[in-house]
A and B are shown apart, each in its own frame.
Chain A
Amino acid sequence: MVMKEAIGPARRMDVLHDTTAPLLDVEGLTVAYVPAAGSTPQARREERYALHDLTFRVEARELVAVVGPNGSGKSTLFKVIAGTLASDAGRVTVYGHGPGEHICIAYVPQRSQIDWSFPVTVKDVVMMGRVGQIGLFRRPRREDWAFVEQALERVNATALRHKQIGELSGGQQQRVFIARALAQQAELILLDEPLTGLDVPNQEAIFAVLEGLHEDGVTIMVATHDLQLAADRFGRVMLLNRELVAFGPPEEALTQANLLRAYGGHMHVLPGSDGDLVLADTCCDGHEDEL
């Protein structure tokens, strides 16, 4: 790539990578449900889990889909892996170290979580991904701008660089946030419902970007409601409903028994004409409030 020389010295956090350890190692992860402020003391005493006793591994260069109904803990899981939310029990390590020691884990939020009227342009947003590497009291250097340009190029958003983020379409907004993760030099990218609310061409455009990154060795986890897509396009699928229902290749994970366990009443199971099952996730497209 043209920008190779511009990339500069070793990444600040590389020293922390124990590359003999799995990229992501999760053991007995449990997160207690946090009751809303002002709820009754009784509700606060009731024991509930957002996530309960999850154990799994993700190797480097995997492309993983995380599926499950609304409130199944997908966002919570991503936030714990990203190190922005503490767990109540269990252990999460990324290359052998706690998530909080890395700046190479990017979390791409649901679009509904962002204030799109905020006075920033596309390149401002992508540059935010560089703030960790730039460090306190410094201004962006030439190589930081090179990273931004390169990231924009990767997601086909170079022409959008001077637009305010509210002027973009949903698909463009999503690609800009992926570019921000690239500018962060993320090795693990967690995308929270990136395809929700997008039409098929836009979903395909996002997917083309993700598959390109995957080929370049970035590990990607995508939370999605689209079971068809999870089955067709991902190497492994995680079925989640506060507990880990299944995690494996699509044909092993997405069995009828597993889907019923994960979705329960939210799942429509219809006998198809040739004896196959037609499965539909009846979840709405709305944003999830899992915490």
Chain B
Amino acid sequence: MSLDWLLDPLQYELIQRALLAATMTGIVCAVLGAYIVLRGMAFLGDALAHTILPGVVVAYLLGWPLAVGALVMGVLTALGIGFLTDQGMVKEDTAIGIIFAGSFALGVALLSTAGNYSVDLTHFLFGNLLGVSTSDLWVTLLLGGVVLAVIALFYKEFLVISFDMTLAQTLRLPTTFLRYLLLVLLAVTIVVSLQVVGIALILAMLITPAATASLLTNRLLPLMAYAAAIGAFSGVTGVYVSYHLDVASGPAVVLVATAIFLLVFLLAPGRGFLWRRRGR
């Protein structure tokens, strides 16, 4: 059997870069996603991805690194949501919704003043994997490595604040710092993922691999490892699907991850949907 379908794309440097960026994104999103899933932060994660758009657009228009704009916007958003909630006049999910939609609209409005409006918007929303430059790749690898290192450093503290916030407080852990640190990591992860899957689809890379892994294991560390493997596999397979079938790369990556979730959901040994039906 010929392996041309596997090897042919590799002769292009842009495909090599795309594969590396997709792998890193798959891993980082999945590992952080384990906390997002366990803490029930899916809505906040999706919202944060959308709210950083104005920051990214301003950085892009001024020629700054996108990461700077995204980080500034991410922190402002987190503070803004906290402030609105603390006033006690609206509930937290409502506060998130207002900031989410408002700043996304601001981002689109800012971008519409630029020349290449619709192409740029498409790239921000759905990623531009084949447009990953060498310097983009370095930023992705570097920031991704930083996120993974910080998670490794604070693994047990993040576990405690996710499982039992009251315990974290009686152990006198710096809970506010840790909560904000998770939000900052989320903002950085969104930056890492921007070119691979884009703002609109980042949520899938955060929660789908982690949710899939949660069907396969009962412990957090294996869960993160499985999620990372699923995320990386989805990234690589997505690039190939995109190359061979000529579909947009970001959606291809997300569709692979979704297909894996559905397979595991149906077939997971001991607890998959079909398994449980058979057991009835």
The A101-121 residues at the B interface (CB cut-off 8 A) are 102-103, 105-107, 109, 113-115, 118-121
The B121-169 residues at the A interface (CB cut-off 8 A) are 153-154, 156-157, 159-160, 162-164, 166-167, 169
Report chain B residues within 8 Å CB of A127.
Answer: 156
State whether B91 touches A136 (Cβ < 8 A). Answer: no
Which residue on B lies nearest to A99, using beta carbons?
B170
Determine how close the nearest CB of chain A comes to the CB of B90; give it in whole angstroms: 7
State whether B172 touches A38 (Cβ < 8 A). Answer: no
Residue of A84, A106, A119, A125 most packed against chain B (CB within 10 A): A119
State whether B38 touches A118 (Cβ < 8 A). Answer: yes
Q: For the complex, give the distance between the alpha carbons of A127 and B172 in Å.
A: 16
Classify chain B: how many residues form its interface, as a range.
20 to 34
Q: For the complex, give the distance between the alpha carbons of A124 and B163 in Å.
A: 11
Contact of B172 among A35, A100, A134 (CB under 8 A): A100
Report chain B residues within 8 Å CB of A107.
Answer: 166-167, 170
Number of interface residues of A (CB under 8 A): 38
State whether A128 touches B163 (Cβ < 8 A). Answer: yes
Report chain A residues within 8 Å CB of B218.
Answer: 119-121, 164
Q: For the complex, give the distance between the alpha carbons of A257 and B276 in Å.
A: 56
Determine how close the nearest CB of chain A comes to the CB of B261; give it in whole angstroms: 17
A-B contact count (CB 8 A): 91
Which residue on B lies nearest to A13, using beta carbons?
B172
Given the known A-B contacts A100-B172, A119-B214, A132-B172, are A109 and B166 also in contact in the complex, defined by CB atoms under 8 Å? yes
Report chain B residues within 8 Å CB of A119.
Answer: 38, 214, 217-220, 223
State whether B164 touches A128 (Cβ < 8 A). Answer: yes
Contact of B170 among A35, A44, A106, A113 (CB under 8 A): A106
State whether A83 touches B169 (Cβ < 8 A). Answer: yes
Report chain B residues within 8 Å CB of A82.
Answer: 166, 169-170
Q: Does A79 contact B (CB under 8 A)?
A: yes
Write out, one digit per residue, whether chain A residues 76-105 have a CB within 8 A of any chain B CB (1) or not (0).
000100111000000000000000101101
State whether A132 touches B173 (Cβ < 8 A). Answer: yes
Q: Does B171 contact A (CB under 8 A)?
A: yes
Which residue on B lies nearest to A164, using beta carbons?
B218
Determine how close the nearest CB of chain B comes to the CB of A151; give it in whole angstroms: 14
Q: For the complex, give the distance between the alpha carbons of A69 and B156 in Å.
A: 37
State whether A121 touches B91 (Cβ < 8 A). Answer: no
Q: Does B85 contact A (CB under 8 A)?
A: yes
Which residue on A lies nearest to B162, using beta carbons?
A118
Given the known A-B contacts A118-B38, A121-B219, A124-B220, are A84 and B169 also in contact in the complex, defined by CB atoms under 8 Å? yes
Q: Does A131 contact B (CB under 8 A)?
A: yes
Report chain A residues within 8 Å CB of B154.
Answer: 136
Given the known A-B contacts A38-B90, A82-B170, A118-B38, are A109 and B153 also in contact in the complex, defined by CB atoms under 8 Å? no
State whether A128 touches B167 (Cβ < 8 A). Answer: yes
Contact of A124 among B38, B214, B219 (CB under 8 A): B219
Report chain A residues within 8 Å CB of B166.
Answer: 79, 82, 84, 107, 109, 113
State whether B217 touches A131 (Cβ < 8 A). Answer: no
Report chain B residues within 8 Å CB of A139.
Answer: 156
Q: For the complex, give the distance between the alpha carbons of A113 and B167 in Å.
A: 12
Report chain B residues within 8 Å CB of A2.
Answer: none
Q: For the complex, give the distance between the alpha carbons of A106 and B213 in Å.
A: 32
Q: Does A37 contact B (CB under 8 A)?
A: yes
Q: Does B88 contact A (CB under 8 A)?
A: yes
Residues of B that sit less than 8 Å from A by CB? 38, 85, 88-92, 153-154, 156-157, 159-160, 162-164, 166-167, 169-173, 214, 217-220, 223
A-B contact pairs, 19 of them (CB 8 A): A37-B88, A37-B90, A37-B92, A38-B88, A38-B91, A100-B172, A103-B170, A107-B167, A114-B163, A118-B163, A119-B218, A124-B219, A124-B220, A128-B159, A128-B163, A136-B154, A136-B157, A164-B218, A184-B171
